[in-house]
Amino acid sequence: MRELELDAQSLRTVAGRYATGVAVVTAVADGVEHAMTTNSFASLSLDPLLVLFCVERSSRFHEALKQTSHFAVSVLPEGADHTARWFSLRGRPLADQFAEVPHMRSEHGVPLVSEALGWIECSIHSMISAGDHDIVIGSVEKLSISEQDAAPLLFWKGRFHGLPGS
């Protein structure tokens, strides 16, 4: 065992040893579509149905969440690295950011990534401040699942991966 410094890079290194799924969270604020890739998504409660994800407070997506009441989560399949990378690109143009990403719309007009394995549509339940991020808790309003039987896209050690043998 090698002890590391207590700093941001060391935390990234150790936390990066924990494999996570990858999702795109979307919202619409003042008619503008917003999206971000996250690996900080989790189910939180089964009664009531709640989910959570974390968002950096200095991001455009955080600002959008303060102006809307709904968001959606699209769980990405293996091979959707291009979509994950696009929606994690800082400073990408907001206009037409979905032009080359096949999508559909929720009943609240929020984009849902078409290639996803599943979709969770939520209203914002609460936002909790924690460090330089907010934990966004969503009340689940609708659940949908894809007919495709693909493996999920994973994030591990700072890179996208598929499941071994999938």
pLDDT, tens digit (0-9, with 9 covering 90-100), for 59-105: 999 999 999 999 999 999 999 999 999 999 998 998 999 999 999 99
Residue (of 108, 133, 118) closest to 24 by Cα position:
118
- Name which of 29-33, 86-90, 151-155, 160-164 the model is least confident about: 160-164
Sign, Cα dihedral of 57, 39, 33, 31: negative
- Tell me the CA distances in angstroms from 131 to 36, 134, 135, 137, one per residue in order: 19, 8, 10, 16
d(CA 95, CA 99): 9
- 163 pLDDT higher than 90: no
d(CA 30, CA 112): 18
Q: Output the domain CATH number for residue 102.
A: 2.30.110.10
Q: Would you say the pTM of this structure is higher than 0.75? A: yes
In a domain, 24, yes or no: yes
In a domain, 39, yes or no: yes
In a domain, 166, yes or no: no
Hey, is 18 helix, strand or coil?
coil
In a domain, 113, yes or no: yes
Q: Which domain range does residue 79 map to?
A: 19-156
What's the confidence (pLDDT) of residue 51?
98
Decide: 44 and 51 in contact? Cβ < 8 Å.
yes
Structural domains counted in the chain: 1
In a domain, 3, yes or no: no
In a domain, 148, yes or no: yes
Burial of 136 (0-12, 13-18, 19+ CB in 10 A): buried
Decide: 61 and 55 in contact? Cβ < 8 Å.
yes
In a domain, 1, yes or no: no
> Can you name the residues that pair with 52 across neighbouring β-strands?
42, 137
In a domain, 59, yes or no: yes
Hey, is 108 helix, strand or coil?
coil
